Amino acid sequence: MLRRPRRNRQSTAIRGLVRETVLATDHLVYPLFLIDGKNIRQEVPSLPGNFRLSIDEALIEIESCLSLGLTNFILFPAIAEEHKDKMATHSYHPNNFYLQAARQIKQRFPEACLISDVAMDPYSIDGHDGVVRAGKIQNNETLPILARMAVAQAEAGFDILGPSDMMDGRVGYMREALDQAGFTDTGIMSYTAKYASAFYGPFRDALDSAPRASEDIPKDKKTYQMDPANQREALIEAELDTQEGADFLMVKPALNYLDVIHLLKTNFELPIAAYHVSGECAMLTAACRNGWLVYEEAMPETLTSIHRAGADVIITYFAKDYARLKMSR
């Protein structure tokens, strides 16, 4: 036997020499759910270990993440029922707590990178990412709302905006509005290939943002989010987002879509982000809590696999645990 691949697996040191993928904490983004109020730290039942945090608690959380070298955060607002309406007007109200949170966090921790969520659903009484009228999601009517939200978020100090709505043309529309308002340095991380997935459940629990189906309101997001059966269609979305000025292309979810991550990585020059979504994290957490898998092994293997497939950036609810693990090893 001339070739013996096992020779390169003999010791920790040799395995280190030939390791192809090393995931640094730098590449991770930690999602935080924010809620209005003070001293609030409510665990999300379907996503154990994750909390709805009031601003004061979020500041404490961010400080502890920064001390672990975790510097990137994506923020999502849990909006009180009385602030929800059909047109998501609260999303750009200058005093809403989400925008205030960004201001306060950037003031205290300018080194933290804050990524926003641009979508109507947390603020929408219908639980949809677009304006619902006559039983349909109205694409073009949604764009000016997203643009207003985007400019308000840029004003509040978000570094990167994350349109997660999947309306056609929204990246270009937002880019133009941002540039006109003078926010040429605010980036856009576009949810390029976002699938109509069954794995967003815990997130919708956290924000109470699930579609509120009725006779006149669609029960799912399939007319705007992509069909999980499609791969080539992601190339069309990536092409458009690139032309429209996106700074990152995102694939979401991550694990069931590693082929799509790889496809975009090999066909586009922009950095690729992957969103390891709530349902994917919840499954692993549940198995570990049952003693069926070992978290300290299964979790880093999972994140490394997403990186190996081609994701430069990984948004994951495990970011803090990974950062902690990295520090201790």
> Which tokens go with 164?
């997660």
Catalytic residue check, 219: no
Q: How far is the CB of 30 from ligand PBG (least distance, A)?
A: 12
Nearer to ligand PBG among residue 278 and residue 285 (C-beta): 278
Q: Of 194, 221, 265, 320, which one is the catalytic site residue?
A: 194
Amino acid in the structure at residue 96: N
Nearer to ligand PBG among residue 115 and residue 277 (C-beta): 277
CA distance readout (Å), 207 to 145, 157, 191, 203, 301: 20, 22, 19, 6, 29
By the criterion CB under 6 A, which residues form the site for ligand PBG? 117, 119, 121, 129, 164-165, 200, 203-204, 221, 277-278
Q: Of 84, 136, 219, 252, which one is the catalytic site residue?
A: 252
Nearer to ligand PBG among residue 55 and residue 166 (C-beta): 166
Nearer to ligand PBG among residue 59 and residue 210 (C-beta): 210
Please list the alpha-helical segments (H only) found in the chain. 12-18, 55-66, 97-108, 139-156, 170-180, 201-207, 233-244, 258-267, 278-289, 295-309, 319-328
Q: What are phi and psi of 226, to 5 degrees?
A: -75, 155
Strand bridging mode 28-35 / 51-53: parallel
CA distance readout (Å), 288 to 17, 48, 296, 297, 327: 30, 11, 9, 10, 21
Q: Which active-site residues does the annotation give?
A: 194, 252
